[in-house]
Chain A
Amino acid sequence: MMAILLILGAVIAMQMRAVINARLQAEREEEEMLRGYEQRISLLEGEVDQAKREVAGLREEYSGHLARLEEQDSAFFHFLIQYNKSIADYKVAAGLRNVSGEGIVIKIDDANPLSGGMTSLLMVHDSILSDIVNVLRSAGAQAISINGERVVSMTELLCVGPSIRINNKKVFPPYTIKAIGNPAELEQQMRDSLIYHTIVSRNLIFDMSQESHVAISKYSGKYERNISGLLVDGN
Chain B
Amino acid sequence: MEQQAAEKEKRVRAKSRRALIVRNTALTVICLALGVLIALQYKTIQARQSDTGSLSTISEYQARIIELTNELEVLNQDKTELALRVEQLEKGSNQQQIQQMEEELRNVRTFAGLTRVSGSGLRITLNFYDPDDLSISDAKIQRLINEIKASTAQAISINGARITAMSEVRVVNNYLVVNGRQYSQPFEILVIGNPTSLISAINVQGVASSFASVASLTYQKEDSIIINAFNSEDIDTSLMTPTD
Interface residues of A in 127-149 (CB under 8 A from B): 127, 130-131, 134-135, 137-138, 140-144, 147-149
Which residues of chain A are near B94, meaning CB under 8 Å? 73, 76
Q: Is B108 engaged at the interface, CB distance under 8 Å to the other chain?
A: yes
Residue of A at shortest CB range from B232?
A93
Question: Which residue of A44, A54, A226 is within 8 Å of B68 (Cβ)?
Answer: A44
Question: Which residue of A33, A47, A98, A222 is within 8 Å of B58 (Cβ)?
Answer: A33
- Residues 42-68 of chain A, each 1 if its beta carbon lies under 8 Å from chain B, else 0: 001101100110110011011001100
Expressed in whole angstroms, the Cα–Cα distance for A149 and B73 within the complex equals 12
Interface residues of A in 64-110 (CB under 8 A from B): 65-66, 69, 73, 76, 79-80, 83-84, 86-103
Q: Is B65 engaged at the interface, CB distance under 8 Å to the other chain?
A: yes
If the complex has contacts A58-B86, A100-B241, are A151 and B165 also in contact, measured as CB distance less than 8 A? yes
**Cβ of A19 and Cβ of B40 under 8 Å apart?**
yes
Which residues of chain B are near A153, meaning CB under 8 Å? 111-113, 155-156, 163-165, 167
**Cβ of A55 and Cβ of B79 under 8 Å apart?**
yes
Which residues of chain A are near B77, meaning CB under 8 Å? 220, 222
Expressed in whole angstroms, the Cα–Cα distance for A58 and B85 within the complex equals 9
If the complex has contacts A101-B240, A153-B113, are A230 and B154 also in contact, measured as CB distance less than 8 A? yes
Q: Is A115 engaged at the interface, CB distance under 8 Å to the other chain?
A: no
Query: Could you tell me the dominant secondary structure of chain A's interface residues?
Result: helix
If the complex has contacts A156-B146, A230-B155, are A142 and B30 also in contact, measured as CB distance less than 8 A? no
**Cβ of B65 and Cβ of A12 under 8 Å apart?**
no
Which residues of chain A are near B110, meaning CB under 8 Å? 227, 230, 232
Q: Is A180 engaged at the interface, CB distance under 8 Å to the other chain?
A: yes
Which residues of chain B are near A191, meaning CB under 8 Å? none
Which residues of chain A are near B66, meaning CB under 8 Å? 147-148, 169, 171
**Cβ of A66 and Cβ of B166 under 8 Å apart?**
no
Q: Is A38 engaged at the interface, CB distance under 8 Å to the other chain?
A: yes
Interface residues of A in 160-174 (CB under 8 A from B): 165, 168-169, 171-172
Q: Would you give the shortest CB distance from B32 to chain A, in whole angstroms?
A: 11
- Residues 133-156 of chain B, each 1 if its beta carbon lies under 8 Å from chain A, else 0: 000000100110011011001111
Question: Which residue of B23, B58, B83 is within 8 Å of A37 (Cβ)?
Answer: B58
B residues with a Cβ closer than 8 A to A are 23, 26, 30, 33-34, 37, 40-41, 44, 47-48, 51, 54, 57-59, 61-79, 82-83, 85-86, 89-90, 94, 97-98, 101, 104-119, 139, 142-143, 146-147, 149-150, 153-156, 163-170, 177, 180, 192, 226, 229, 232, 235-244
Given contacts A12-B33, A34-B54, A230-B110, 4 further A-B contacts (CB under 8 A): A26-B47, A84-B101, A99-B243, A220-B77
11 contacts between A and B (CB under 8 A): A73-B94, A79-B98, A80-B101, A90-B108, A153-B113, A157-B146, A158-B150, A229-B119, A230-B155, A231-B119, A232-B116
A residues with a Cβ closer than 8 A to B are 1, 5, 8-9, 12, 15-16, 19-20, 22-23, 26, 30, 33-34, 37-38, 40-41, 44-45, 47-48, 51-52, 54-55, 58-59, 61-62, 65-66, 69, 73, 76, 79-80, 83-84, 86-103, 126-127, 130-131, 134-135, 137-138, 140-144, 147-158, 165, 168-169, 171-172, 180-182, 215, 217-218, 220-224, 226-227, 229-235
